[in-house]
């Protein structure tokens, strides 16, 4: 089948199938390889992942997270096919964001769900002379707490970590802040020497 070659050439495991510019469904590479059919007609899955042309990248990421799809079809207001977005393209688009591209420390902070306030976190960070470039939130299922990954515009985040701690936020980890890690290590060594006396 010609579709197998097309998918192999583009490293794609799924392709949209169109009828007169209307999305009819999708076909999977696995099904095409194992099929004895001459045409793809019987292999088309009418359930497909799609977004409108004005959708945000977060909508596309949500679809990829909720489905096993490798491609997300883009449709216009008349439900006509406009194009596709691959998982790879979505990840590349995320990689172009300021949150990812600009250097700086990343803090993993945990708090009770009732305690979460993006404005308070930003205020505490800005109060220490830094900027919050981005934030990703995750629920910790076992505890019902929230973990926030905070991307900062500075590398030395020790003052910010201390400020967050004073306000009841627990810093689980920090990345890209060698000065803070070195300072913690030095303090630990000093404590061990003190205890040893």
Range list of β-strands (E), the chain:
14-19, 22-28, 50-52, 71-75, 81-86, 106-112, 132-140, 145-152, 170-175
Same domain, 15 and 74: yes
Same domain, 109 and 188: yes
Of 95-109, 128-142, 177-191, minimum mean pLDDT range: 177-191
Q: Which of 44, 69, 94 corresponds to the end of one domain?
A: 94
**And the tokens for 51?**
């977004």
Of 40-44, 105-109, 157-161, minimum mean pLDDT range: 40-44
Total domains in the fold of the chain: 2
Same domain, 66 and 115: no
- For the cut 60, the answer to whether the pLDDT of residue 197 exceeds it is no
Same domain, 114 and 184: yes
Q: Which of 94, 128, 148 corresponds to the end of one domain?
A: 94
Q: What is the mean pLDDT of residues 155-183?
A: 85
CATH number at residue 38: 3.10.580.10
CATH number at residue 150: 3.30.70.260
- For the cut 60, the answer to whether the pLDDT of residue 69 exceeds it is yes
Same domain, 51 and 19: yes
The whole-number pLDDT of residue 162 equals 95
The pLDDT tens digits for 13-51 are 777 888 787 777 778 788 888 877 777 777 777 777 888
- Report pTM: 0.66
Same domain, 59 and 78: yes
**And the tokens for 179?**
């000065």
Q: What is the mean pLDDT of residues 162-181?
A: 84
The whole-number pLDDT of residue 178 equals 60
The pLDDT tens digits for 127-138 are 999 999 999 999
Name the region of 175 (left: φ>0; alpha: ψ -120 to 50; beta: rest).
beta
Q: Which of 94, 128, 154 corresponds to the end of one domain?
A: 94
- For the cut 70, the answer to whether the pLDDT of residue 160 exceeds it is yes
Same domain, 72 and 160: no
Q: What is the mean pLDDT of residues 140-152?
A: 91
136 bridge partner residues: 149
Same domain, 130 and 188: yes
**Mean per-residue pLDDT over the chain, rounded:** 84
The whole-number pLDDT of residue 166 equals 96
Domain that holds residue 168: 100-196
Same domain, 43 and 25: yes
Same domain, 57 and 120: no
Same domain, 6 and 39: yes
């Amino acid at each position: 089948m010609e579709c197998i070659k097309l998918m192999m050439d583009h490293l794609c495991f799924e392709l949209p199938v169109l009828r007169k510019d209307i999305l009819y469904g999708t076909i999977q590479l696995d099904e095409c390889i194992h099929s004895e059919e001459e045409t793809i007609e019987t292999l088309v899955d009418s359930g497909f992942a799609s977004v409108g042309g004005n959708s945000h990248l977060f909508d596309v990421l949500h679809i990829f997270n909720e489905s096993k799809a490798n491609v997300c079809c883009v449709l216009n207001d008349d439900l006509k096919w406009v194009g596709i977005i691959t998982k790879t393209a979505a990840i590349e688009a995320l990689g172009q964001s300021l949150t990812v591209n600009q250097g700086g420390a990343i803090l993993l902070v945990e708090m009770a769900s009732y305690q979460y306030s993006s404005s308070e976190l930003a205020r505490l960070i800005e109060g220490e002379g830094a900027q919050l470039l981005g934030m990703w939130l995750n629920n910790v299922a076992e505890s019902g707490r929230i973990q926030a990954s905070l991307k900062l515009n500075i590398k030395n985040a020790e003052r910010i970590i201390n400020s967050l701690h004073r306000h009841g936020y627990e810093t689980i980890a920090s990345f890209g802040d060698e000065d803070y890690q070195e300072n913690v290590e030095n303090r630990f060594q000093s404590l061990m020497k003190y205890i040893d006396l």
